[in-house]
A and B are shown apart, each in its own frame.
Chain A
């Protein structure tokens, strides 16, 4: 849909959503009164689930205290309650501005975020960190910030199609965000990967936000360009390959991914963006040849990089032969990976219990290896629950793509949920040795502000998209 058409839709989309609102609105309070009278089944379901989510998180934090401290300490529970209030505030806001939004998304990410806070808090206890030094306290502050940002997104973006208009702005923002860490002075190298910017005492991983901008750009660009990308081309064997002149975009993205791989030294981030692009171009054009072409380019690039760049080869060796004593003892070898696996094994089926394991042994237990910390304390059972929550979240996103009316919204929905799925796979697959370990954060769970903000914004966009999906059929029927 061309951008010019989206303006009138935006105007009528919300008020005309249900018959009762068709009457002209006189005052603001009038509107509220009318809206409150509408039975909001989905929101009620969301409220019940959200209270349940808060109960899970609250009891997790309480169990952490009982396990690690041997007593209950009110302070953190009070802060936790504040977060619960914030989540419920978001829920209340949606009762007004996104009545038909998906009821599962908010409770699911509340649980995930809360479990992350509980585990990070638990690690703070074992390291005797308090106040602003404690990653858990910072995580709580970031969660509050992320929730406010998500709320702002829901309130400001009343119609997702506005975003399509800004696709080239999004592209520009995405590229700038990607390049920021490479700048001198503010760019910062952490654990060998140059993914951070550093301003004053403020650290941020702009790449996390870039994935939103890029998803918006890909969706907007592919909706307009997909005809030329899918219809013409030469047939080789049974598959139709694109014309050379249409290869431009994929080559640009490939170059960008390789630049991330080489200059920012992060295989995971490169894989994430490139995978996102491949899936979106495949969904938009329906041409498997793009995937094959893209995978070929990426694997080829990665193999060459593996030959040339020591760190890529190191990652592969640590993955394939993690338990070999030489690699285990090497600087930057598999020590961390193996300790994380020991943590998972220590947890076994049901885990040691909150606060009773020894997750602190693994380096970066609160960020890159949060999942092995959780696995140690809540066991395989807990891991399965977390994976199921992710799967639920992702399936709600795909639902938008299946049920949506406009292609931009569908592409954006699949892009945003797939980027979460891929990130979960890259991180957890790295920790459990399905693929080589890379330095991405576990969405919603891991300690880190940028990741939290970015993922909450993704959730907010999905909420907004799901609200539109449910509203649109009525628009058509009426």
Chain B
């Protein structure tokens, strides 16, 4: 009987070895896959129950987690949702995250590698895990001014400090309220999300850095002018023929200047005047003379075609290299396949304002651990030097006269030299225009570079976009 008992004992032992093995396999070898499984709601709950860090603007939380009595433990609350939704983005249970909530999720949720030791110490001390707080470079006064000035228009405003790259305002309209998306009722979240997605005004788009991008229209002339002057091939006084209409080579398309007629009434016109009055025909000729490769080189130096993270990723703006002269001419005053983000336009202006040095744009002022130690300080980073300081001084002069004595008259501020450029991009026959203004001030010591875009315009950039930019600049300069 003992022989049988031994065998049965071995069988029992083997049964237990199987259990030891199977539980080890699950908790040690498969654990990463299991925790990453989308059906594993425990992981989801975990990411929510750590107290997510706040997003701060000037020390005030614009997004924060408040303790609630449900399995998720914390409810994300946006205190000024419409004003900041373009920046904060949303944080949902089942529809993903966007904006700073999405791109800095690992810091906010406390899972970033930089926070490893914080995590360990909170385990050892028995404290609840807490995410880092993110301070933004946004100036609430400027943000509010931009938001109010844009009114009911669809469009966007970006303001940045040209010397540091800090983004002072980022407004995209129409806006949306991220609070219902942060609901813990997933059915409600899906319903809200679907409704926002189906909205023809597309409120979920952050128009400052993404979406379908815009034709830049005349604001692109700053890039062409940069190429002309910085390459040394032209000066502001270089003359171009000045017809009232111009038929593009090998094409039936006839282009005109925005106001109709010639540019200033003289037989020839200088680049300076053409920029000041924002004339298309001289710039079309200048573009053809420069060639697509030269313009493209300068566009790239300003950041076209590159991916920026602010920390949200910015859709690259494009300038096509056209071999076809007609298309090259169209693209030289911001039509054809030129597509830009308002941020790219603000960056171009900021580089001109900052003696030709382009600073990388960013929204992050500082990331702080819950114990207030700084995880990531403000990082001032030069992206490049698209133009020389001398070119920048020349362009600044041209842009100042553009406001004081030219097409951008509505951006004038008493006692301050404002440098600016308007744009009115056409989106095709029968379609409304995209209205632009970009500029910086004060011209001798720039504090702010701004880009304003208004969709579905019927008039000109100077009429609609310039006053908005003026309000934003005034908010920065405390006027």
Question: What is A's interface to B at a CB cutoff of 8 Å?
Answer: 279, 282-284, 286, 323, 328, 338, 341-349, 357-358, 361, 375, 379-380, 383-384, 387, 390-391, 394-395, 398, 401-402, 407, 410, 414, 418, 421-422, 424-425, 428-429, 432-434
Contact = CB atoms under 8 A, between A and B. Distances in A.
B67 interface: no
B23 A398 contact: no
The 5 closest A-B pairs by CB, nearest first: A345-B34, A432-B22, A425-B15, A380-B27, A346-B42
A42 B31 CA distance: 43
Nearest to B21: A434
Contacts of A402: 2, 5
Contacts, number: 114
B55 to A, nearest CB: 27
B12 interface: yes
Contact of B31 (A283, A345, A384): A345
B26 interface: yes
A343 B42 contact: yes
Nearest to B26: A344
Given A341-B26, A345-B31, A349-B28, A283 B5 contact: yes
Interface string B40-83: 11110110000000000000000000000001000000000000
Contacts of B3: 286
Contacts of A361: 41-42
B348 to A, nearest CB: 49
A432 B8 contact: no
A344 B23 contact: yes
A433 B22 contact: yes
A429 B14 CA distance: 12
Contacts of B24: 380
B27 A375 contact: yes
A346 B15 contact: no
A422 B34 CA distance: 28
B22 A434 contact: yes
Contact of B45 (A283, A345, A358, A432): A358
A428 B15 CA distance: 10
B156 to A, nearest CB: 41
A432 B26 contact: yes
B34 A341 contact: yes
A347 B27 contact: yes
A5 B171 CA distance: 98
Interface of B: 1-5, 7-9, 11-13, 15-16, 18-20, 22-28, 30-31, 34-35, 37, 39-43, 45-46, 71
Contacts of B71: 358
A100 B3 CA distance: 26
A432 B19 contact: yes
A341 B23 CA distance: 9
Contact of A398 (B9, B26, B37): B9
A231 to B, nearest CB: 15
A160 to B, nearest CB: 17
Given A347-B27, A379-B27, A429 B22 contact: yes
B30 A283 contact: no
Nearest to B8: A279
Nearest to B34: A345
Contact of B27 (A283, A328, A345): A345
B20 A384 contact: yes
Given A387-B16, A418-B12, A286 B39 contact: no
B42 A421 contact: no
A407 B1 contact: yes
Contact of A286 (B1, B15, B30): B1
Contacts of B2: 402
A282 B8 contact: yes
A469 to B, nearest CB: 14
A317 B146 CA distance: 60
B19 A428 contact: yes
Contacts of B27: 344-345, 347-349, 375, 379-380, 383
A358 B44 CA distance: 11
Contacts of A424: 16, 19
A286 B4 contact: yes
Contacts of B26: 341, 344-345, 432-433
Nearest to B4: A283
27 contacts: A283-B5, A341-B26, A342-B35, A342-B37, A342-B40, A344-B26, A345-B30, A345-B40, A346-B35, A346-B42, A346-B43, A358-B45, A384-B20, A387-B16, A387-B19, A390-B16, A391-B13, A394-B12, A395-B9, A398-B5, A398-B8, A402-B2, A410-B5, A429-B22, A432-B25, A432-B26, A434-B18
B28 A380 contact: yes
Nearest to A421: B12
Contacts of A395: 9
A425 B1 contact: no
A375 B18 contact: no
Contacts of A375: 23, 27
Nearest to B32: A345
B5 A414 contact: yes
Contact of A342 (B16, B18, B42): B42
A342, A357, A398, A433 interface centre (most CB from chain B within 10 Å): A342
A345 B24 CA distance: 10
Contacts of B45: 358
B379 to A, nearest CB: 36
Given A361-B41, A387-B20, 15 more contacts: A282-B7, A283-B4, A328-B39, A342-B39, A343-B42, A345-B26, A345-B35, A346-B43, A346-B46, A348-B31, A349-B28, A375-B23, A402-B5, A421-B12, A425-B15
A62 to B, nearest CB: 15
B30 to A, nearest CB: 7
A218 to B, nearest CB: 14
Given A358-B45, A391-B16, A432-B22, A401 B39 contact: no
A8 to B, nearest CB: 25
Contacts of B34: 341-342, 345
B142 to A, nearest CB: 44
Nearest to A383: B23
B23 A283 contact: no
Contact of A358 (B18, B19, B20, B42): B42
B4, B27, B43, B71 interface centre (most CB from chain A within 10 Å): B27
Nearest to A433: B22
Nearest to B25: A432
A398 B7 CA distance: 11
A432 B16 CA distance: 12
A131 to B, nearest CB: 21
A212 B4 CA distance: 22
Nearest to A384: B20
B212 to A, nearest CB: 35
Nearest to A426: B15
A152 B283 CA distance: 105
A223 to B, nearest CB: 11
A429 B18 contact: yes
B266 to A, nearest CB: 73
Contacts of A357: 42
A395 to B, nearest CB: 8
Contact of A414 (B8, B16, B25): B8
B23 A429 contact: no
B18 A282 contact: no
Contacts of A434: 18-19, 22
A347 B46 CA distance: 12
B23 A380 contact: yes
Contacts of B13: 391
A240 B108 CA distance: 72
A421 B15 contact: yes
A342 B26 CA distance: 9
B42 to A, nearest CB: 4
Nearest to A340: B26
A283 B15 contact: no
A328 B35 CA distance: 16
Contacts of B28: 348-349, 380
Contacts of B5: 283, 398, 401-402, 410, 414
Nearest to A338: B39
